[in-house]
Amino acid sequence: MPVNAGAPNIPPAPPVSLPPVAVVVTDLAHRFPGTDTLFEHLTCTLLPGETVAVCGPSGCGKSTLLSILAGWEKPAAGTVERHGIARVGWVFQNPYGVPERTALDHVVFPLLAKGERRGTAEREALDAMGLFDLKYAADRPFSALSGGEAQRLMLARAVCSRPDMLLVDEPTAQLDTRTAHSVSHVLGNLAGQGMIVVVATHDPDTRDACQRIIDLADYAPGGALSGEPGDDQAAPAMASTPAMASIPAKGADHATV
């Protein structure tokens, strides 16, 4: 007779079901050679329809985490699985563009690249610029834009690029308080367009406009969550309000780094 003949017949647990588009981060840690660990034991799942704030003190690894999510940087430990992520957009902290081309040209380009007619593309681009109070600058050359205007221009371009995952690095660093507040709340609603939005920020207003928060201070060695795998936290409720690199994801349907 088998030893465990009297044991109950327990079926195996069913596999975890994920939506078609998701980013699964498991026990992630990173350090650069010769330096201390930035963060460790970071576990979370990023889904379309939500904006996630990555916050923490300067030097804690916010921009590094974005690089790892994009697949540009290999983590020291742990995995990032990208399911159904065919296109990743990145708005850098220091925006860049073609000096002599107009602001509208920069926003309309990804739409033209998708095959839209010029008239339709321009109308959609202007609507995106309107989200960031930038319609007035449509005909200005990029070289004539202020740093804050260029930053908002890249956000508008990101909207028109329609990535599966949008990574935004310190979007309000060059903005005045009023404009930063407006941009923060637009970012908080961008995920409603069906993309995953991850924002690295030190700005409390931007953080509070996001639906979820990953505070890397909690994942620093000796931090609140660094001793064991943990998840992120929900952000405060948000009121509703009406330089981007485009990166083809490695292995569009399912990529792991």
Residue 75, pLDDT score = 96
Residue pair 228/64 in contact (Cβ under 8 Å)? The answer is no
pLDDT for 256 beyond 70: no
Which tokens is 220 given?
């620093």
For 109-131, the pLDDT digits (tens) are 999 999 999 999 999 999 999 99
Total-model pTM: 0.79
Residue 89, pLDDT score = 92
**Which percentage of the chain shows pLDDT scores above 90?**
58
Mean pLDDT of the chain: 83
Higher pLDDT, 97 or 231: 97
Per domain, the residue ranges of the chain are: 48-73+85-214+232-250
pLDDT for 247 beyond 50: no
CATH topology of domain 48-73+85-214+232-250: Rossmann fold (3.40.50)
pLDDT band, very low/low/confident/very high, at 238 (cuts 50, 70, 90): very low
Buried/exposed 231-257: b ≥16 CB within 10 Å, e otherwise? ebeebeeeeeeebbbebebeeeeebeb
